[in-house]
Structure 1
Amino acid sequence: MWRESLGDVVTGPWRPPASYAALHAVETSLGRPLPTALRSLLLETDGMEGPYGEDIVWPAGRILDDNLAFRTRPEFRSLYRPFDPLLFFGDNGGGDQFAFVQDLGDGSVHVWDHETDERGLVAPDLGSYLRGALGSDGEDWYR
């Protein structure tokens, strides 16, 4: 599905798919199922690189590791609002992270600004986010 719908904007090779075991580990460890669109993408490619080398979609292992780190690092608790509602899955290469707000359940993609702790809507769905990121002309395409 994703290869066909994004074939016109993907410039590099597709990565091998994530394993079902890796996705199960993410869901079990984070205590929630992955959003359907993200799960289906990861089953086609375990992460995606953007036009400037940024990981616009992280591999399943990094999704797990980074989300656990954001939720458990003591220094983050004093610096930022809680990360529990967010499921981070990619970045812009400059520090900002992209996430689903799991409590919304609408599949929209949001950005977390690492300097201000601001969180804002980037795209109504994963497909729109990917098209924007892959067709961008810089790391701040979403602003």
Structure 2
Amino acid sequence: MWKERIDSFPGKYTFAEPATKEEIGELEKSLNVKLSQELKSFLCESNGVFDEYDYPLVWPVQQIIRENTELRTFEYFKDLYMPFDSLLFIANAGNGDLFGQAVLNGAIQREYIYVWDHEDDSRTWVASSLKDFMKGWAGGTISI
């Protein structure tokens, strides 16, 4: 499903091997968040997807864990930005801004995608779902 959908986007994409249930469980446990069904189904089909320059459209599980852990624990950020526990970042824009889903009561309850602006710490809605985000970001209809 995901591969066929992404293959219809402009450009060429490479898919990673599917994430294992154990990897997805590690992500949920280490970041204390229950993933959305949409993100979980994507990761079960491809543990990240990369454009022709090997740049991730959506990060693999280990990068999601690493990036979110760093943002949540880096002391300098605590005085600079609002807490990051309310977002699960899954991709970056290449300019320091990040894309993620809102975490409410320990779970991603809506499929919405937001962009976090690293310059002003704003968090802005950009897509109603992971599918719409990937299509819009790959196709250029989402820009920041």
Normalising by structure 2, what TM-score?
0.88
Q: Which is worse superposed, 99-108 or 120-129?
A: 99-108
Match for residue 139 of structure 2 among 112, 128, 135:
135
Question: Which residue of 2 is the match for residue 59 of structure 1?
Answer: 60
Helix, strand or coil for the counterpart of 1:38? helix
The question of 1:108 aligning with 2:112 is answered yes
Instruction: Report the CA distance between 1:68 and its aligned residue.
Output: 1.0
Normalising by structure 1, what TM-score?
0.89
Question: Which residue of 2 is the match for residue 5 of structure 1?
Answer: 5
Answer yes or no: is the 8 Å Cα contact 1:54–1:92 preserved in 2.
no
Helix, strand or coil for the counterpart of 2:115? strand
**Separation in structure 2 between the aligned mates of residue 52 and residue 131 of structure 1, nearest angstrom:** 18
What is the RMSD of the two structures over their aligned residues, measured on CA atoms?
1.8
**Separation in structure 1 between the aligned mates of residue 4 and residue 57 of structure 2, nearest angstrom:** 18
Answer yes or no: is the 8 Å Cα contact 2:15–2:49 preserved in 1.
yes
Q: What is the count of residue pairs matched by the alignment? A: 140
Answer yes or no: is the 8 Å Cα contact 2:28–2:34 preserved in 1.
yes
Instruction: Report the CA distance between 1:115 and its aligned residue.
Output: 1.3
Question: Which residue of 1 is the match for residue 94 of structure 2?
Answer: 93
Helix, strand or coil for the counterpart of 1:98? strand
Q: Which is worse superposed, 82-91 or 26-35?
A: 26-35
Question: Which residue of 1 is the match for residue 20 of structure 2?
Answer: 19
| 2:118 partner amino acid | H
Question: Which residue of 2 is the match for residue 81 of structure 1?
Answer: 82
Instruction: Report the CA distance between 1:53 and its aligned residue.
Output: 4.6
Instruction: Could you tell me which runs of 5 or more consecutive residues in structure 2 were left unpaired when the two chains were aligned.
Output: none
Answer yes or no: is the 8 Å Cα contact 1:86–1:99 preserved in 2.
yes
Instruction: Could you tell me which runs of 5 or more consecutive residues in structure 1 were left unpaired when the two chains were aligned.
Output: none
**Separation in structure 2 between the aligned mates of residue 6 and residue 69 of structure 1, nearest angstrom:** 29
Q: Which is worse superposed, 61-70 or 3-12?
A: 3-12
Answer yes or no: is the 8 Å Cα contact 1:55–1:93 preserved in 2.
no
